[in-house]
Amino acid sequence: MERLLSVDEVAAVLGTTARFPRRLIAERRITFVKVGRHVRIPESAVNTFITTNTVEPVRRRSRYRRAV
């Protein structure tokens, strides 16, 4: 079975406060599991969230072209 993380653990992984993962849950932007009154987030959902929100750098072309 996959590891389920608490909101505080997810916040530590993301380097944020607990408020950010709670907002992701409230906005339904991340998969979560309710265990009674507790909310848990699958580790794979955190990894997917990080992967899908990763922005790759854009390579800028040089302003000046070399004369050949």
> Do 2 and 42 meet the contact criterion of CB atoms below 8 Å apart?
yes
Q: In 1-68, which ranges are E strands?
A: 4-5, 33-35, 38-42
**Number of other residues whose CB lies within 10 A of the CB of residue 45:** 19
- Quote the longest CA-to-CA distance of the chain: 70
In this predicted structure, what is the pLDDT of residue 66? Answer: 67
Report residue 60's pLDDT band, with 50, 70 and 90 as the boundaries: confident
Structure tokens at 3: 């590891």
With 70 as the cut, is the pLDDT of residue 68 above it? no
Note the pLDDT tens digit of each residue in 10-25. Answer: 999 999 999 999 999 9
Report residue 25: phi and psi, to 5°.
-70, -45
Note the pLDDT tens digit of each residue in 29-59. Answer: 999 999 999 999 999 999 999 999 999 988 8
